[in-house]
Amino acid sequence: MIALFWASVRFQLQVLRRSPDYLMAVVTIPLLAIAFLAIMKNAGRADLAPYAVLGSTLMTVWATALFVSGELIESERTQGTLEGVLAAPVQYQVLVLGRISIVTVLSFFGLAESIVVAWLVFGYLIAVPHLGLLLLTLLCTAFAMVGTASIMAGLFVLARSARIFQNSLSYPFYVLGGTVVPIALLPGWLQPVSKIVFLSWASDLLRDCLAPTPPRDVLFRLTMILVLGAVAFAIGHLLTKKILRRVRQTGSAGYA
């Protein structure tokens, strides 16, 4: 299984060299960061620059995970190879996870880009007073992100058009996940819903990593990200298994 995972990672790296679309995040993160930073600067709120930098990164990493998990199903379908992949004697989920993981991990480099953009374009120096914790949180976030993407990859096989999900699961989660705006500013009735979205825990902790005061309840918050990620992995695994059984029975995996 581990060999298959690494093989799919290597395969995706080969694909990335020929398909710049998969690394859209590298280009879009700085642009989104510029949009958010401009809003903050125009309002005279330089103190909110870290929100802009982290928000643009989390939004794009989420969008990339969605894009990749949807796009690889769509492209397998378009090329007529999805049935072959599903029929192969390997676990489909592991194959997909390897491909999503590498793109997700690479897209996190956008954070460094955003920090550079904030400095170059707006002259904002984003301090990282808790670098170790920031890296640890990013690692946990990547784990949960890939877990969540595994649910989507399953749904995309079932859906008539993966693009509906691809296009629709972005902004609702940016709001619920507190990517740019802390969930404390959401209406009270929505805040409990946010708590079951791993992004809300991740974005809060990441913002605290950029604040001068030491973050509180670190262990609990990291655990929450990991637990929600693990739950997502479990749901993704069960869902994909069920969906694959169904499309094999109904013969509805490909377009034909």
Partner 1 sequence: MTVLRNNARVLRYAFTSAMADMRATYTWKSWTFAWLARILCQVTLFALIGKLLGSPEQVEYLVVGNSVFIVADIVMMVCATTAWERLAGTLPLLVSCPSTPFVVFAGRSVQWLVDGLACSTVSLLLLAPVLGVSLPLGAALTAVPMIAVISVSVYFFGLTLAGLALRVMKARNLVGRLGSIGLMVLTGVQVPVTFWPVPVQYMSNVLPLTHGLHAVREHLHGAPLPRVLALLSLEVAVGTAWTVIAFFTYRRLVNSGRHDGTIEFGG
- Chain residues binding partner 1 by CB under 8 A are 18-21, 24, 27-28, 31-32, 34-36, 38-43, 45, 48, 51, 67, 78, 161, 163-165, 167-172, 174-175, 180-182, 185-186
The answer to whether 33 and 118 are in contact (CB under 8 A) is yes
Pick between residue 133 and residue 180 the one whose CB is nearest to partner 1.
180
Least Å from the CB of residue 222 to partner 1: 25
CB of 253 to partner 1, least distance (A): 18
DSSP 8-class letter at 214: P
Cβ-Cβ contacts under 8 Å for 170 (sequence gap 6 or more): 59, 62, 63, 66
Helix axes 92-107, 49-78, angle to 10 degrees: 150
Question: How far is the CA of 48 from the CAs of 3, 9, 130, 134, 216, in angstroms?
Answer: 44, 36, 17, 18, 20
**Closer residue to partner 1 (CB): 94 or 243:** 243
Nearer to partner 1, 139 or 186 (CB): 186
| The residue type at 105 | V
Asked whether the beta carbons of 86 and 247 are under 8 A apart, the reply is yes
Structure tokens at 177: 């996940």
Nearer to partner 1, 123 or 214 (CB): 123
Q: Going along the chain, which residue ranges are E strands?
A: none
Nearer to partner 1, 93 or 104 (CB): 104
CB of 53 to partner 1, least distance (A): 14
Cβ proximity to partner 1, 48 vs 133, nearer residue = 48
d(CA 145, CA 147): 5
Least Å distance, CB 227 to partner 1, is: 25
CB atoms within 10 A of CB 134: 19
DSSP structural state of residue 188: G
CB of 198 to partner 1, least distance (A): 18
Q: How far is the CB of 1 from partner 1 (least distance, A)?
A: 31
